Chains A and B, each alone.
Chain A
């Protein structure tokens, strides 16, 4: 694995259809990543309405939830990601 690959963050956003918080979370996430992690991230969006079984797999209880799969350890951020500071801390972007 290259450094670049290692440095890339894999983010998974769990939503439930087009609910207002889900849409807000996706917009907030794209904005924060675009500003602070240009070219260093990969976002996967999973709609639990379509595949509810995936919720159990990742222990999702509330939606929207953002999961940082990479780098490990896995981190979860619950909510619509409107608190930018908190999002950055959780993604450990601030201290990198």
Chain B
């Protein structure tokens, strides 16, 4: 080969090389859109321009997209498609789709929709334990000359999970709303409400085909109709005043779980159940508060009513008692005198009864003093044993450092005696009564069980018996006046009422706990007296004999009968009297007359001036004037006596001649 020839060959080779480079460059630049592939006997043309464009598009889009042949072998898969099914986004080309998605049936379901007009199925795949949701689409297409399918997977996991969370919230709210509606429904009984709640719980859960629920409260169980012993369960406690009284439980039974991929409880369901339990707890709290309120309202109403009646009776009894006593003194021995004495005795009994009513209605005149409770109980022991009888043993247990209560001693003795007598009546076959005293500190947290009473230190006096005990319905009404389980004539039904009224009026409270067959414990809480050293015993009973005198008494009383009666009594005691029907009249008499030694006045009077105001006026003119205030409506006396601020003597209607004589004498004595 000569130089020229070889140079031509080299030129030709260079040209071809340049051509090949041009071809590559053109392919790289995308300025060609079809390639010729040479087979041994044939040339095939593959257009690539359109594929390249679509491929860029396919790689960029969020969908997982793949082209498969009719047998399901992957011809092309974009990166998203690969990452859906493989960790590293492996090259899936050539692999059967059924292997990749690990399910031949799924592949058949996908292509089964082609040409049917039906939407391709939404599928849920489990990837590393987490579920992924995909909306799929399948269409026929020809890849090159190969017929096959285009398959796309659109990831809707976020939307589905958000939707599910939203559905759960909506369901939870709907369920809670229905439970709330039930727990505030006054037209349903408690057990109807409980039954309805378990039905609602089962109904409102999306997996209700297999959900069941039950509610247990105070050993009563309410089950949803579909109840089966659950495979998995979750429960929330129902509380009443911080004490668990039951629970509400949700369970998944053995039913099909296909609708619901979880067999475990999701947090929303636990929240839901906790909220339901809280609703039920609140319902119970409201119900028991309402019951307590009703009971104390009833007691208060009865108290006010009986207090009012007692007040009127006291006025009348004052006249009857006084006149009968006067008659008995004036009359010579004989039938008439005995009748007068019987009248006085009966009137006295009537006065006792009205006093008991006043005690219950917290309107009795109390003389609260420091009482050494231990001393009191020990002193009472013998007396109590005598009063109770031999068949029953009375035991007194008092800690040495119980301390001093602030209370009216004689009323406290009455109350303890009353409780012991009740205990005796509950133990017809004998038994043991234990009277004990201890200190009790009531704080806000343990106060709830003790009704409306202020936190603080109390002396707790208990009277326990091991007798027949009482039904809860009886316990609930035991403090009501005239409520008695004794047969007619055996008891007035006022004993416990008095105890309760006394305890309440003394700023304490009384309680009964009883169990049928086991016995009853009655408790009296009395405020502890802080200053233990100044404890003083109540004064002994006043002088028994009526004391007489000759001074001038101004009687101020609007009630004609009473005024006449009291002036009569005073005359019979030797006193001279002046009478006025109201404060103004009384002041006129005082101004006009120097010879008034004592003013005896009713507290509540018409004419714009009360007994108190009259007393103040009188004292302005005559600072040394002794004044005795009287009232049948004891609350006024109670108010007078409060804070120890009253300088005047107080006399409660009805009073016996002796009581009147004593207080007048006391007044005159202090005045002179």
Interface residues of chain A, those whose CB is within 8 Å of chain B, are 15-17, 19-22, 48-49, 52-53, 55-56, 60-65, 73, 76-80, 82
Could you say which residues of chain B place their CB within 8 Å of the CB of A52? 36, 42-45
Q: B-side binding surface: helix, strand, loop or mixed?
A: mixed
Q: How many residues of B contact A (CB 8 A)?
A: 22
CB neighbours of B49 from chain A (8 A): 19-21
CA distance A20 to B38 in the complex (A): 23
Q: Are A61 and B36 in contact (CB under 8 A)?
A: yes
Once the chains bind, are B31 and A80 in contact (CB under 8 Å)?
Answer: yes
Kindly identify which residue among B19, B22, B50 contacts A19, using a CB–CB cutoff of 8 Å. B50
Pair B45/A55 contact, Cβ less than 8 Å: yes
B26 CB–A CB distance under 8 Å: yes
Task: Find out whether the CB atom of B34 lies under 8 angstroms from the CB atom of A16.
Answer: yes
Question: B71 on the interface (CB 8 Å rule)?
Answer: no
* Residues 43-60 of B contacting A (Cβ, < 8 Å): 43-45, 47, 49-50
**Other-chain residue from B19, B31, B36 in contact with A21 (beta carbon distance below 8 A):** B31
Residues of A with C-beta under 8 A to B23: 61-62, 78
Residue of B nearest to A18 (CB): B47
Contact A64/B32 with A78-B19, A78-B23 known, Cβ cut-off 8 Å? yes
Inter-chain CA distance A56–B36, complex, in Å, is: 9
B11 nearest in chain A by CB position:
A73
A-B contact pairs, 26 of them (CB 8 A): A16-B34, A16-B45, A16-B47, A17-B47, A19-B33, A20-B50, A21-B32, A22-B34, A48-B34, A48-B36, A55-B45, A56-B43, A62-B23, A62-B27, A63-B32, A63-B34, A63-B36, A63-B45, A63-B47, A64-B32, A64-B34, A73-B15, A78-B25, A78-B31, A80-B31, A80-B32
Q: Which residues of B have CB within 8 Å of A55?
A: 36, 38, 43, 45
Q: Does B616 contact A (CB under 8 A)?
A: no
Residues from chain A with a CB closer than 8 A to the CB of B25 are 78
Is the pair A62, B19 in contact by a Cβ cutoff of 8 Å?
Answer: no
**Within 8 Å of chain A (Cβ to Cβ): is B670?**
no
In the complex, A66→B50 CA distance in Å?
Answer: 20
Residues in B neighbouring A82, C-beta threshold 8 A: 31
Question: A60: which of B22, B36, B47, B50 is its contact (CB, 8 Å)?
Answer: B36
- Tell me the smallest distance from the CB of A71 to a CB of chain B, in Å: 15
Q: Which A residues are CB-close (under 8 A) to B27?
A: 62
Q: How far is the CB of A7 from chain B (nearest CB, A)?
A: 23
- In the complex, which residues of chain B have a beta carbon less than 8 angstroms from the beta carbon of A56? 36, 38, 43
Interface string of B1-39 (1 = CB under 8 A from A): 000000000000001000100110111010111111010
Task: Find chain A residues with CB under 8 A from B43 CB.
Answer: 48, 52-53, 55-56
A53 CA / B44 CA spacing, docked (Å): 8
What is the CB-to-nearest-CB distance from B659 to chain A, in angstroms, rounded to a whole number?
127
- The answer to whether B36 and A62 have CB atoms under 8 Å apart is yes
* Residues of chain B within 8 A of A63, CB atoms compared: 32-36, 45, 47
B66 to chain A, nearest CB (A): 24
Distance to closest chain B CB from A24 (angstroms): 8
Alpha-carbon distance between A79 and B49 when the two chains are bound, in angstroms: 11
Smallest CB separation, B270 vs chain A (Å): 61
- In the bound complex, residues from chain A placing their C-beta under 8 Å from that of B19 are 76, 78
In the complex formed, the residue of A with least CB distance to B20 is: A61
Q: In the complex, A57 Cα to B35 Cα: how many Å?
A: 15
| Other-chain contact of B29, A20, A60, A79 (Cβ < 8 Å) | A79
Which 3 pairs across A and B sit closest by C-beta, in order of nearness?
Answer: A16-B34, A79-B31, A63-B34
> Closest chain A residue to B35 by CB distance?
A62
Q: In the complex, which residues of chain B have a beta carbon less than 8 angstroms from the beta carbon of A48?
A: 34, 36, 43, 45
- Give the most central of A20, A63, A73: most B CB within 10 Å: A63
**Are A77 and B44 CB-contacts (below 8 A) given A19-B50, A48-B36, A62-B34?**
no
Contact between B33 and A20, CB atoms less than 8 A apart: yes
In the complex, what residues of B have CB within 8 A of residue A61's CB?
Answer: 23, 35-36
